Structure 1
Amino acid sequence: MKKSLLGILLFLFSFILLSQNSFRLYHQGMPLINHDSLYFYLDSSQYTVEYMLLGIENISNTDKNVKVKKNEILIVPGSENTFCWGMCYTSSVYISTKYITIQAHTTNNTDFYGEYYPKGNLGTSIIMYTFFDINNPDDSVSVVAFYIATPVNTENFDLCNNYSLYPNPSSGKIYLKKSFTNEAIITIYNPYGIKVYESLIENNEIDISMLSDGLYIYRILVDGEIKGSDYLLIRSNK
């Protein structure tokens, strides 16, 4: 599972567009960057269900007819996922058959939610949801949801957060969310999987000023064990 995560995150880069678009997503009232990641920690009970609600804002000057598609990047066998947009679909539907019109400079906070059912199966499912203009599918915005089903969810939540980096996007320096006494090493790869940086993490900070603007994947090892892996967007202030 850990070895496959790097390949999965590399796969995400093929979807990432940095150009301006007409939409902005919100989760719990907070704005998201395009292709942002959201993490949901839940018990793996047969009867557990996780709901992900999103708001989508049309930031353009014209009304947009919007559809939603899902991309199952990694799915735990035996789990199930669905979404609602205009109507609620079965798990076999990947693109909504209905569109919803979002008027210029307004936000739809009520019509989309994703559902994830672990059905007693442990593991992480990764699903990308993309909202797009039906008249211009390249005009889109996406979010990547990590549904993490464990026997006990709170400890895993704290662990993952501790080994994540901020700020992201970033320039200059990035930081671990929590300091550790154990030896920690960060390795950064470009979108082709080539290692471009590796360093011992000292004083809870990493200098990335030598890296060019763009998208990267980082991996954090503590005592030789992978503790965190995600993508990192570097944007300079030049």
Structure 2
Amino acid sequence: MKQSLTLALLLSATMSAQAQFITLRDEGGNVVNGTMITHHGNANEVVMGVGVLATLNGNDALNVNVRRYELNVQPGTGNYFCWGVCYGAVDAGDLPVWQAQQVHSIDMAPGVEVSNHHAYHEPREVVGSSIYRYVWFNTADQSDTVWVDIEFHSMAVGIEEQASGVRSMAIYPNPSQGNDVQFQIE
């Protein structure tokens, strides 16, 4: 009996320790806590963006803030985010850890979805992947966190032109006068 009670208490404590205080969802409504969202776009785009929806779990309102980490970013790109307010873009590497100002933290009510978090990446014609980690935390207990990684994958668009010249071209018969026209290009 004591073993069953001990096991039940241990399982209960383990499950409550793993409960996350916020549920994060992508724009499609999928739960993304502890995962990666990948966004593909053109390297010539001015800015790429991904929104993340946050819902507070539990029964008590909490003051929540966000911190952004550059995990692996392409030099020559820029990035910024919105949480409460939108911050200005910074160059990759200039601010590897970036926390929203305390005055911009948000009082979240349980069960109410907050849709004002947006991550932005400026590819600036640089091809490659840049990965950022966004961490939501309880300002009263900064060890109480959830996170999602966002990868912006910028790609070149089009096919590189092969610049070999045409040596000769013949079109016949000329005039065709109702016959099929033939082309010969070398």
Normalised by the length of structure 1, the TM-score is 0.53
- What residue is the counterpart of 2:114 in the other structure? 108
Alignment of 1:1-238 (within 5 A): 19-45=18-44, 47-90=45-88, 91=90, 92=95, 94-97=98-101, 98-109=104-115, 111-152=116-157
CA–CA separation in structure 1 for the residues paired with 2:145 and 2:31:
13
5+ residue gaps in structure 1? 1-17, 154-238
CA contact (8 A) 2:43 2:126 kept: yes
Could you tell me which amino acid in structure 2 is paired with residue 121 of structure 1?
A: V
Q: How many residues align?
A: 134
Question: Which one has the largest radius of gyration?
Answer: 2
CA–CA separation in structure 1 for the residues paired with 2:98 and 2:32:
23
Could you tell me which amino acid in structure 2 is paired with residue 77 of structure 1?
A: P
Deviation at 1:83, TM superposition (A): 0.3
Greater RCO structure (CA 8 Å; 6+ sep): 2
CA contact (8 A) 2:25 2:32 kept: no
Could you tell me which amino acid in structure 2 is paired with residue 152 of structure 1?
A: V
Amino-acid identity (%): 22
Runs of at least 4 residues off by over 6 Å = none
CA–CA separation in structure 1 for the residues paired with 2:33 and 2:52:
13
Could you tell me which amino acid in structure 1 is paired with residue 109 of structure 2?
A: Q
5+ residue gaps in structure 2? 1-16, 159-186
- Secondary structure of 2:110's partner? coil
Deviation at 1:48, TM superposition (A): 2.7
Q: RMSD of the TM alignment (CA)?
A: 1.7
> Given the superposition, is the C-alpha separation of residues 29 and 63 from structure 1 closer, same or farther in structure 2, using an over 3 Å criterion?
farther
CA contact (8 A) 1:57 1:105 kept: yes
Give CA deviations for 1:195-214 in whole Å, capped at 9, x if unaligned: xxxxxxxxxxxxxxxxxxxx
CA–CA separation in structure 1 for the residues paired with 2:157 and 2:47:
15
Deviation at 1:29, TM superposition (A): 4.0
Deviation at 1:42, TM superposition (A): 0.6
